[in-house]
Amino acid sequence: MSILKIARMGHPVLRAVADRVEDPHDPEIQRLIADMKETMKDAGGVGLAAPQVFVSKAIMVYFVPSLRKSDDPDDGEVPVSVLINPEIEPIGDEVVDGWEGCLSIPGLQGVVPRWNKIRYRGLNEKGDEVERIAGGFHARVVQHEYDHLIGVMYPERIEDMTLLGFNEELREYPPETTFRQTAASDDAVAHPDEP
């Protein structure tokens, strides 16, 4: 396994729609998945999409640590998981705001609205079909990584640009605002790519 370089915002690979994976069993795809897991762990993230490591393929890896779970029965600890050729659909109309960071945009975070509950489907790393309902942080992580596969970066989803800033500044000077989910603090900030 190898630690891969992470593309930063501005690189064209992050603006493109990723190609579908035709054969999940292809040794190149299996090696990429192993390297993505290692890279995510090394970078301290909770999610990583293949375009973030300069490969325009519809693959994401992610996990939900126990400290991120909420009271939502569809949220909770999720081990490191792989989703290939994912599709997502919202369940219900509830949208919640939450802080997000990104390994491709180091040092920044912003408040992003996301569907609170989604259904996602795709293939796991063995090529088996996966379908799951996710809520809370679990849903946020999957939506964030899915956006990377369609060429969207989280700042494009921010509705109030006053809620975008550098991590250190936001810790020192938390925004004096309330919104639909959480506020900036060391223990409340939800970073889909970062823990």
Hey, which residues are catalytic here?
145
Report d(CA 116, CA 99) in Å as an integer.
14
**Is 178:97 a contact under the CB 8 Å cutoff?**
no
Residues 6+ apart with CB under 8 A from 122: 83, 84, 85, 86, 87, 129, 130
Q: CA 121, CA 95: separation in Å to the nearest integer?
A: 20
Tokens representing 121 are: 């489907």
Distance CA 90, CA 105 (A): 26
Cα separations in angstroms, 152 against 13, 16, 124, 145: 11, 8, 23, 9
Contact 174, 163 (CB under 8 A): no
144: how many CB neighbours lie within 10 A of its CB? 28
Q: Are 1 and 34 in contact (CB under 8 A)?
A: yes
